[in-house]
Chain A
Amino acid sequence: MTFAERMLHIDRRIIFLVIGVCTLLPLLYPVGLAIKVSPEVRGVHDYIESLPEGSVFLLSMDFDPASKPELQPQAVALLRHAFKKNLRVIGMTLWVTGTGLADLVVSQAAQEMGKVNGKDYVFLGWSPGVGSLIITMGQDLYKAFPSDYNNQPTRELAVLKGIQTLRDVNYVVSLAAGTAGIESWYVYGKDKYKFELGGGCTGVIAPGLYPLLRSGQINGLIGGLRGAAEYETLIGQKGRAVAGMDAQSATHVAIIMLVILCNVFYLLIRTSRGQSGQPRG
């Protein structure tokens, strides 16, 4: 067996180890590579930046703990920005399995920024239906959510004063790990009730959402941990996402190198088999 053949039959656990080391080392010894902000992330940031104090910002955290590493940093960065701008924040989720996590994210960000539940922000929790829920919110917010996550009647909350339907919301951002998420908010919400919509998503579903961005159906898109790092850079509060970018770059370089090496070894084997008259394959 030649060296190239041995390398192509390498124990896959060695590759796992390489990726693990490439991830761990930059996390322990960060380099601080530069982060360039993309126009799609800037779209969300600039819209929130343009909102006057007291505007209503609805953040729908449509993910569960499986997508926490990508979407929690996005949620934290967006909430910090909204609270810093003194916006009235409404939190909710379309994913029942993400309810506890979403509540934790909102309450921790609010506590950090000195905001009061019921006065500066509210977490509505989860309610069933997705499409019908969004349509009901577009007709009567209090019918969709008679009480918030803490069982407080929503009609009595100061933060919701003057808000009757989704038409009274200035900006909606859905952080989605799949369906239900950004597309549901567009199809059943924005297209009908004409509020402005932005999005954040996991890397896996980001390519499928670019058509919505290009056509103006959403005004910005934060994609994966990289998008979260860009948002953290924009608001000047570097957190977990920025800390992870060195590791992300290192693993990407490692994977690219592995792909190149595999192809080189494969071509070497094909060439040697061709020369010795053996069938290629």
Chain B
Amino acid sequence: MPFETLLGAWVATGLTLFIFTFLYQDNPLFKLAEHLYVGVSVGYTIVKVYDTVIVRLLYEPMVNQGDWSLLVPLGIGMLMLARYFPKIAWLSRIAFAFIVGVGSGLAIPRIISSYILKQVEDTVRPLASLASGGGPTFTYNLLDPASNLNALVLLIGVVSVLFYFFFSIEHTGPVRVAARTGILFLMIAFGAAFGYTVMARMSLLIGRFTDLIEFADPRYGRATLWLLLATVATLIASGARRRDLRSCGTSSSLPSRSTMSSTSCSGTRPA
């Protein structure tokens, strides 16, 4: 097995176990893994953005292909940096104006078309359909999204939820009934979303456990077992140190050197 694969397996196993230790209690191993995660993510992003944007999309086309028109977007982008100099900070507004203008121009028509018009079109469906014989028919199959019964449920759901979010009139009488129905639909939607979230979180746990099981194999030097032992030993040592500090009259957080020196181990807090 290549060395980098082996190293990757040990690092992944160790960091997974370190993060899992938070389920027991906060500890230095978790902090180490957490800080590494943030640092590596930011470092990776900076390197990829520099390589893709500065080198591949700007420098190489300009220098190798002579595409000097790229100086225009480069110049607009550089104006952003003017914010760091108070005297010329106003220049950055030109770049922001360009971004907001182009962004809005691109997004507004497309989003209205995709999220409003298309969804309204799908909501307004016929409540009865024509059977093969020619007469109107009503289909009751709840499992078929295109059935007439589901079109009716959709209509009631949309109208009642809209009533719930209609605050210009008091929710009394028929409006109250509609708003209450809307709450029911909202609760079902929240329940479905929460169910999917639980499923997703469990999937992540399964993914990590699958890797841990794989890395417990002798091909990987039984990384999971050795690192699990090391992690448990560190947790025990960390727990023992916490208990010592607590018995010396300090809280669970580590005391400063000066506090340590003035702390007696008689079980009383320093004045």
Contact = CB atoms under 8 A, between A and B. Distances in A.
Interface stretch (A51-59, A78-86, A122-130, A272-280): A122-130
A265 interface: no
A206 B210 contact: no
Contact of A70 (B24, B52, B200): B200
Nearest to B114: A187
A128 B199 contact: no
Interface string B190-217: 0011001111101111111110010000
Interface in B1-60: 23-24, 41, 44-45, 48-49, 52-53, 56-57
Contacts of B197: 203-204
B196 A207 contact: yes
Interface stretch (B118-126, B133-141, B164-172, B261-269): B118-126
B24 A13 contact: yes
Interface string A196-214: 0000001110111001001
Interface stretch (A2-10, A23-31, A113-121, A162-170): A23-31
B196 A244 contact: no
Interface string A256-273: 000000000000000000
A147 B52 CA distance: 10
Contacts of A183: 114
A224 interface: yes
Contacts of A252: 198-199, 202
Interface residues of B, number: 44
B121 A69 contact: no
B52 A19 contact: no
B206 A255 contact: no
Contact of A211 (B45, B106, B107, B122): B122
A215 B200 contact: no
A226 B210 CA distance: 15
Chain A interface helix/strand/loop/mixed: helix
A203 B210 contact: no
A19 B115 CA distance: 39
B189 interface: yes
A188 interface: yes
A186 B107 CA distance: 12
A217 B114 contact: yes
A37 interface: no
A70 B203 contact: yes
Contacts of B113: 191
Interface of B: 23-24, 41, 44-45, 48-49, 52-53, 56-57, 61, 102-103, 106-107, 110-111, 113-115, 118-119, 121-122, 145, 189, 192-193, 196-200, 202-210, 213
Interface of A: 13, 16, 19-20, 23-24, 27-28, 67-70, 96-97, 99-100, 125-128, 131-132, 135, 146-147, 151, 183, 186-188, 191-192, 202-204, 206-208, 211, 214-217, 223-226, 240, 243-244, 247-248, 251-252, 255
Q: Which 7 A-B pairs have the closest CB atoms?
A: A69-B207, A203-B200, A215-B122, A225-B203, A244-B206, A203-B196, A203-B199
